[in-house]
Amino acid sequence: MSEHRIELTVNGRQHAATVEARSSLGEFLRENLGYTGTHLACEHGVCGACTVMVDGQAMRSCLMLAVQADRASVTTVEGLAADDGTLHPVQRALRDNYGLQCGFCTPGIAITLAALTIDGTRPAASDLEAAMSGHICRCTGYQGIRRAIRQITDDGGVA
């Protein structure tokens, strides 16, 4: 078993650890660092529940090895809200529009939408809806998520 030393920033906090070469980023975030908002389900990159941002890009953490995140900046769903607990505009839109039900898929969806609207970027609602094709939600029927997307685009993007 091969182990490697990595350093990365998760939600603004520096972390250093030794990881097995075969450990996925999702496993490392959940099991080693305690960021349990990153949900592992299919472990094939299909469902989207494990989506995190790596250097500002939405990535499936089940398909990325932890060693590949060495020196990267990672944002999990726990890092979206402000330090004072104020919800990120994407989280607020999902809450306002009942864009969640059981909540299992919600962290990955929130990260995908946040990554696409980072720094006030204003994609069209159709582009955000297209990005949702990479997420499986078994509870909501997607209508609340679509309403949340319209709220996000109507609000002029997010911070």
Do residues 113 and 73 share a domain?
A: no
For 109-142, write each residue's pLDDT tens digit.
999 999 999 988 889 999 999 999 999 998 888 9
> In the listed set 78, 106, 125, which residue is the last one of a domain according to the structure?
78
Q: Which region among 69-78, 83-92, 133-142 has the lowest average model confidence (pLDDT)?
A: 133-142
What's the whole-number mean pLDDT along residues 81-100?
95
Record the pTM.
0.92
CB 14 within 8 A of CB 7: yes
CATH number at residue 26: 3.10.20.30
Number of domains in the chain: 2
Signed CA dihedral, 112, 7, 27, 2: sign only: positive
